[in-house]
Structure 1
Amino acid sequence: MNIRSTWQCAALLAVALASASACTALAPVPTGEALIGQPASAVEARFGKPPERYPRANGGTRWLYPTQPYGQFTYAADFDASGKLISFRQILTTMDFAQVRVGTATQNDVLQTFGKPEETAYFRLMDRQVWSYRFKHEGVWPSLMHFYFDRDGIVRLTQVSPDPMYDHDHDSSR
């Protein structure tokens, strides 16, 4: 088994552990979409307690089921103000990241949209806090999305880079 297969298995295992059944683990989005219109209790019964919960602007709530730190997916269950599921989807996507507006979005916006980052760092010379999320760029390439925040917590830069975890040419013994 190569390293890529090992990491893919780890990601699938993380999803499986967060899921109530093997069927749910292999198809979380269709399983979640089938629950649209159901109360939060039905989602919790199927997927378990969400590791992260955030308020939404419309009075609803977003539950997040991340597969980080090694997974490339976070599943979001969005509820309306009455507690009914209105959306269930994978949100670590190129299109979702593109919705973050440089100069306007805040750390709180990013947190409430994508959840806790896989990794954080502080770049002293830039004076920027950086949050990184593992994902598949364009649904294909293992990548990291980086958000650079200024001292006021405003997004000042976004950057996509290859995920070094999948760099098969890198040999750490050199």
Structure 2
Amino acid sequence: MDHRAQLVLVCLSVLVFVGCVQPYQKIETGSDQAAVVAHLGPPKETYNLPGGGKRLMWPTQPMGSTTIAVDIDASGKVVSSRQVLQENEFYRAEVGKWTHDDVLMNFGRPFETSYFPLMKREVWSYRYQENNIQHMLFHFYFDDQGILRQTQKAPDPARDPSLRGRF
């Protein structure tokens, strides 16, 4: 392979890699809130954090599987940014301690809510991709006082034709 062909392959590889960078990964810690909004657009959800900060969120629910969360401190600077609809984030939820408000602040609004009267449980559901491959649902079960009592993950029947009609 000649030098020119190798250069073209390297350039294409770099372009593919750069195309994989997610929008939240381009947000630098210490950036101004206005710069984040200019980059991502106005947030769809905003939650107050302890200490006077805010969590800004850009969900793609109901059919999307990502929610970008950017934490801003009281002075308006970025503290962190991440995609929160993923397993390692969901497993931070503390059964018996977290409430509706904790789940909202950490994951945003669910794409669907249900109530199961025999269980006396309200269920909030979020779409996500497990390992960036498998389309899944993560469910949070709350008691009548709004306390998290159980979590569960399941395949997303809307994204897997072989499961349609089974759930």
Given candidates 103, 114, 127, the residue that maps to 1:110 is 103
Task: Give the Cα–Cα distance (whole angstroms) in 2 for the partners of residues 137 and 30 of structure 1.
Answer: 19
| Per-residue deviation, residues 123-152 of structure 1 (Å, max 9, x unmatched) | 111011100000012433210000000011
SS across alignment from 2:58: strand
CA contact (8 A) 2:157 2:164 kept: no
Per-residue deviation, 1:110: 0.2
Partner of 2:22: 27
Task: Give the Cα–Cα distance (whole angstroms) in 2 for the partners of residues 131 and 164 of structure 1.
Answer: 16
SS across alignment from 1:65: strand
Partner of 1:75: 68
Partner of 1:87: 80
Given candidates 119, 122, 136, the residue that maps to 1:126 is 119
Given candidates 30, 42, 47, the residue that maps to 1:49 is 42
SS across alignment from 1:71: coil
Per-residue deviation, 1:84: 0.2
Task: Give the Cα–Cα distance (whole angstroms) in 2 for the partners of residues 51 and 31 of structure 1.
Answer: 19
Moved more, 115-124 or 162-171: 162-171
SS across alignment from 1:30: helix
Per-residue deviation, 1:26: 6.4
CA contact (8 A) 1:24 1:31 kept: no
- Whichever residue aligns with residue 145 of structure 1, its letter is F
SS across alignment from 1:99: coil
Q: TM-score, normalised by structure 2?
A: 0.82
Determine whether 1:97 maps to 2:90: yes
Give the greater-gyration-radius structure (CA).
2
CA contact (8 A) 2:72 2:79 kept: yes
CA contact (8 A) 2:158 2:164 kept: no
Moved more, 47-56 or 134-143: 134-143
| Per-residue deviation, residues 25-47 of structure 1 (Å, max 9, x unmatched) | 96312222xx3211111111111
Task: Give the Cα–Cα distance (whole angstroms) in 2 for the partners of residues 25 and 115 of structure 1.
Answer: 24
Percent of residue pairs bearing the same amino acid type: 45
Task: Give the Cα–Cα distance (whole angstroms) in 2 for the partners of residues 103 and 171 of structure 1.
Answer: 33
CA contact (8 A) 2:43 2:58 kept: yes
| Per-residue deviation, residues 36-62 of structure 1 (Å, max 9, x unmatched) | 211111111111110000011232100
CA contact (8 A) 2:67 2:85 kept: yes
Q: TM-score, normalised by structure 1?
A: 0.79
SS across alignment from 2:51: coil
Cα root mean square deviation, aligned: 1.9
- Whichever residue aligns with residue 158 of structure 2, its letter is M
**Structure 2: runs of 5+ lacking an equivalent:** 1-17
- Count of residues in correspondence between the two structures: 148
